[in-house]
Amino acid sequence: MRGIFTIYKRELKSYFSTPIAYIILGAFLFFTGFFFYNILSYFSLACIQSMQYAQMYRRPPAPMNVNSWVVQPFFYNLAVISLFLIPLLTMRSFAEEKRLGTLELLITAPISNTALVLGKFLAAYTMFLVMLGFTFIYQAILFILGEPDFMPILTGYIGFALMGAGFVALGLFMSAITENQILSAILSFGALLVFWVVNWASVVSGGWLSEALNYLSVSTHFGFFARGVVDSSGIIYFLSFATLGLFLTGQALESWRWRG
């Protein structure tokens, strides 16, 4: 535990000692704010048009659910933004250590590979949670302006936190197998994109293959949480995703140790 905490403090400090954390956080807030504003504006326009239509034809206005119109699209946009930004958050974790030659010092230090991987993972995941925490502002605006259902918002954040753990773990693995930060980010984004859209192929598949592709898709499992459903298979999927990513990262470090 002491080794994990040592690496965790070192990594967290390194994020804020360079502009990268502030750039990523700024970009995240800009894009999430942009999408939230546009989604909310579209919802407001739809509500006005529904009222005008009801008055014109003397009918009750059609029900407009803020969770369906605003919360769900916001979470999906949040997930897509994360496909781009999390690779930037994890790209330097091991690639930069290799480039600077400091990874050799870390590996030969009295710290296990497990502590090294977990310390870096927790630091990157903390940064992810900090970014996610700022989006609570948007939910507060919804509660001020309307009466959204709380449970779909809660489950959406639970699903997003679980998904983020898997994304960060995969990003660490890609950083561990290369010495170039840009290449690490590209590989991470490519892998995450594949896991996000793999269920598209299920449309032209059938039987067990279609079911397998749907299960492998991140968007399939995240979709349940975004709609307010806590799916046990989704929890298992994301935890397995994160565990596999961390395991592969440890194996990559072990392989690098033997090659060195």
Give rounded-to-5 percent helix, strand, coil for the chain: 85, 0, 15
At 187 the pLDDT is 94
Q: Which residues lie below 8 Å from residue 232, measured CB to CB, with a gap of 6+?
A: none
Tens digits of pLDDT across the chain (260 residues): 667 888 888 888 888 887 888 888 899 999 999 999 999 888 888 777 766 666 666 665 555 677 788 889 999 999 999 999 999 999 888 888 788 777 777 777 777 888 888 999 999 999 999 999 999 999 999 888 878 888 989 999 999 999 999 999 999 999 999 888 899 999 999 999 999 988 777 666 667 777 788 888 898 899 889 888 888 888 999 999 999 999 999 898 887 766 65
* Among 151, 126, 13, 28, residue whose Cα is nearest residue 79: 28
At 204 the pLDDT is 62
- Boundaries of domain holding 87: 2-259
Identity of the residue numbered 244: L
Token digits for 128? 């992810």
Do the Cβ atoms of 131 and 25 come closer than 8 Å?
A: yes
At 37 the pLDDT is 92
Q: What is the 3-state secondary structure (H, E, C) of 122-184?
A: HHHHHHHHHHHHHCHHHHHHHHHHCCCCHHHHHHHHHHHHHHHHHHHHHHHHHHHCCCCHHHH
End-to-end alpha-carbon separation of the chain, Å?
26
At 140 the pLDDT is 92
Number of separate domains in the chain:
1
At 59 the pLDDT is 63
Do the Cβ atoms of 85 and 27 come closer than 8 Å?
A: yes
